[in-house]
Amino acid sequence: MIVLVAAVATAIVLASGPQAKAANSHNFHFRHPAQGALIFYSTCPFDGPLPPNTSVCDVYSVWYLRATNVIGGGALGMAQQPFVAAFVHARWDVKEGEEDRLISLEFGETPDVVGSYDKTHLSYAHFDGATVEMNNVDLQTGEVTPTGETVALGPFTWTAASSVYRFGNDGPALEGYPPNVRDRCHTTVFSAHMKFRVAHVTGAIEGLQLDNLYTRSPSLPGEPENTPGTIINNAFRVIDVVHGGKNCL
């Protein structure tokens, strides 16, 4: 669940980012840096058996993030990119022996937030209280519709509890994705540079009892207990080159 929700949430945050047209319209070059902090909560364990009589799991994530993306060439402009506070709520249909199925997704974000972030050492991140207006995502069409509701977030504070983890394509975000894929028509290269620290987190979400929710369990080498948050400085790149002639365009 975490990977999909993270991907969706990142796409939401990046939706208004600057884009540049590729020099060759048949080739694709995508760059995506992201800096900030995040945490996931769930009504179900992220690993291990489900609670009795459970058929739906709610996953909540809170982000303090600045990110952008460029398609084709051009400058990334991260220094001018504002941080946003974001909240994502995903509902999953879970059945024993079956693959989890996303049944609803809503999100809210705002640049009207005051906070701080240690880009150099990733030792902390923090934002003061923020209010986000929620939107529903149609899972069939991707259409976004305001729900008319708001959610109050924060303040949230991430305090690093580990040394810095560094990964390439073998890291958590792209684990399982081959770095190079080639077929008759395309060569696609996935490249990741992940730098992050896991963190203790304090925070509040309006109407949610966070102490009753599950958080991510330690899964990284040397990761301390009770460190469900992550402070990140990541960069991702995808290059797709068409080489099969006009029948592949």
User: pLDDT tens digits, residue range 5-44?
Assistant: 444 444 444 333 333 334 445 788 888 899 999 999 999 9
Instruction: Give the pTM.
Output: 0.83
Task: Please list, in sequence order, all residues whose beta carbon lies within 8 angstroms of the beta carbon of residue 35, skipping any fewer than 6 positions away.
Answer: 65, 66, 67, 78, 117, 119, 232, 233, 234
In whole angstroms, give the CA distance from residue 161 to residue 199. Answer: 5
Confidence class for position 139, pLDDT limits 50, 70, 90: very high
Structure tokens at 30: 């995508």
How confident is the model at residue 25, as a pLDDT? 55
Number of other residues whose CB lies within 10 A of the CB of residue 191 = 15
How confident is the model at residue 223, as a pLDDT? 92
Strand-pair partners of 132: 151
How confident is the model at residue 134, as a pLDDT? 97
pLDDT at 245 over 80: no
182-231, pLDDT tens digit by residue?
888 888 888 888 899 999 999 999 978 888 899 988 888 889 999 999 99
pLDDT at 179 over 80: no
How confident is the model at residue 176, as a pLDDT? 58
Positive or negative: CA dihedral 95, 101, 106, 112: positive
Q: Between the CA of residue 39 and those of 63, 64, 104, what are the distances in Å?
A: 7, 9, 19
Share of the chain above pLDDT 90, in %: 50
Which is higher by pLDDT, 99 or 11? 99
In whole angstroms, give the CA distance from residue 150 to residue 206. Answer: 9
Report the residue count for the chain: 249
Task: Tell me which residue of 115, 113, 108, 64 sits closest to 88, measured CA to CA.
Answer: 108
Region 157-184 average pLDDT: 81
**Mean pLDDT rounded to a whole number for the chain:** 84
Number of other residues whose CB lies within 10 A of the CB of residue 91 = 15
Structure tokens at 191: 């490249």
In whole angstroms, give the CA distance from residue 163 to residue 174. Answer: 21
